[in-house]
Amino acid sequence: MAGAGYSAENSPEKARAIGMREFKSGYVALLGKPNVGKSTLLNCFVQEPLAIISPKPQTTRDVIFGIRTDDSAQVIFVDTPGLHLPKHALGEQMVTSARQAGSDADIVLAVVDAEAGIRSEDKAVLDFLRQRGHSPRVWTAVLINKIDRVSPDTVALVREVCRKRVPDIAVFAVSARNAENIDAVLAEIRAHLPEGPLYYPADQLTDRHQRFIAAEFIREQVLLHCQEEVPHAVAVVVEEFKENPGRKIVIGATIYVERESQKRIVIGAGGAMLKTIGTASRHRMEQFLGQGVFLQLWVKVRERWRKDDFFLRQLGYCPKN
């Protein structure tokens, strides 16, 4: 990870040479099982709705960076897919990318769900932290999320289990939804960041391009509005993204599903569901881009695409050979 955007022009050595104060930067990986609130936490840390959110497990499929920069530090938060037992090539890639992010990061935060308690998947993540341990380069901690939904006694029990699993680990009780204790976590992150360069321009919010964000916003609305077998069988490809100065951005995208029955659900009676998805997606895009959007959507069937290595590569994944 480290190295993207680096140049001698923004090195810490140059900062010292011209009398600037120390500048810190680094990558902070958020690891955890599906649906513990990693994406909500990323959005809370960067104060922008970058990562898509839904009640469905495995909403996050890609590693996405959320960048927070101030006068003294640049923190690059890394949202990762939930660690789970994969059932297809897509799932294998999701788990591989999450573990790689955790191995490469300067700081690793394991996120657990206060309401669900510590399950076998959480124990595996905590074991990963224990194996990494602390070093001059790596700091690890646990975030107990969703404390707004449980009693203090429940939080205390979860904290105790975490510390038994990983002795002396730093544990923070937080609520991403209410931003509770987020400032305390940020202070500790800044304290443990290594000295480093400005990896990205100070006004950049994410490493992802606008086409990716647009596709994710569409997939988010499918997850929120469609039930049954549809959500996890959906992929979105943005075919057109045309910016016209002084006019609306023209975006054309295809929603892929695996069966004809799923296509009918996404389209809905008389096209009602597709219209709902399109309207909500367009509003999300306009809020993020700060400009009007003209959005066109199509729905196509591509059977068993989650097990199709060629198609997964087209989507930007790199399945195992």
Match 């975030």 to its residue by tokens.
143
pLDDT on residue 133: 65
Q: Give a yes or no: residue 198 inside a domain.
A: no
Condensed to tens digits (0 to 9), the pLDDT of residues 161-197 reads: 999 999 989 999 999 999 999 999 999 999 999 999 9
Query: How far is 68 from 62, CA to CA, in rounded Å?
Result: 19
Residues in the chain: 321
- If asked whether residues 216 and 174 sit together in one domain, one would say no
Q: Which of 192, 223, 251 is the last residue of a domain?
A: 192
Name, in order, each residue with C-beta under 8 angstroms of 175's C-beta and a sequence gap of 6 or more: 145, 146, 147, 148, 181
pLDDT on residue 30: 93
Query: How far is 294 from 32, CA to CA, in rounded Å?
Result: 37
- If asked whether residues 247 and 143 sit together in one domain, one would say no
pLDDT on residue 8: 43
Condensed to tens digits (0 to 9), the pLDDT of residues 19-66 reads: 456 899 999 999 988 889 999 999 999 998 888 777 766 666 677 889
- If asked whether residues 131 and 28 sit together in one domain, one would say yes
| Residues 227-238: b if buried by 16+ CB within 10 A, e if exposed | eeebbbbbbbbb
Please say whether the beta carbons of 8 and 14 come within 8 A: yes
- If asked whether residues 178 and 110 sit together in one domain, one would say yes
The closest alpha carbon to 22, from 199, 189, 194, 200, belongs to: 194
Query: How far is 44 from 130, CA to CA, in rounded Å?
Result: 26
- If asked whether residues 132 and 24 sit together in one domain, one would say yes
What is the tally of helices (H) and strands (E) in the chain?
Answer: 10, 9
230: domain CATH number? 3.30.300.20
Q: Give a yes or no: residue 199 inside a domain.
A: no
What does the block give as tokens for 185? 């976590």
Q: Give a yes or no: residue 2 inside a domain.
A: no
- If asked whether residues 96 and 163 sit together in one domain, one would say yes
pLDDT on residue 89: 53
Please say whether the beta carbons of 80 and 101 come within 8 A: yes
Q: Give a yes or no: residue 204 inside a domain.
A: no
What does the block give as tokens for 157? 């029990």
Q: Give a yes or no: residue 197 inside a domain.
A: no
Q: Give a yes or no: residue 205 inside a domain.
A: no
Please say whether the beta carbons of 24 and 194 come within 8 A: yes
Q: Which of 192, 226, 254 is the last residue of a domain?
A: 192
Q: Give a yes or no: residue 222 inside a domain.
A: yes
Please provide the DSSP assignment of 147-189 as one string: GGGS-HHHHHHHHHHHHHHSTT-EEEE-BTTTTBTHHHHHHHH
- If asked whether residues 68 and 114 sit together in one domain, one would say yes
What are the backbone angles phi and psi of residue 243, rounded to the nearest 5°?
A: -95, 130
- If asked whether residues 282 and 250 sit together in one domain, one would say yes
Count other C-beta atoms under 10 Å from residue 164's C-beta: 11
Q: Which of 134, 163, 192 is the last residue of a domain?
A: 192
- If asked whether residues 39 and 181 sit together in one domain, one would say yes
Domain count, the chain: 2
- If asked whether residues 102 and 182 sit together in one domain, one would say yes
Query: How far is 298 from 127, CA to CA, in rounded Å?
Result: 44
67: domain CATH number? 3.40.50.300
- If asked whether residues 217 and 179 sit together in one domain, one would say no
Q: Give a yes or no: residue 46 inside a domain.
A: yes
Longest dimension (CA), the chain: 66
- If asked whether residues 70 and 218 sit together in one domain, one would say no
pLDDT less than 50: residues of the chain: 1-9, 14-19, 84-88, 91, 319-321
Sheet of 73-79, strands arranged across: 64-69, 73-79, 24-31, 107-113, 139-145, 170-173
pLDDT on residue 14: 46
Domain of residue 284, residue span: 210-314
What's the pTM? Answer: 0.79
Question: What DSSP designation does 248 have?
Answer: P
Query: How far is 274 from 241, CA to CA, in rounded Å?
Result: 19
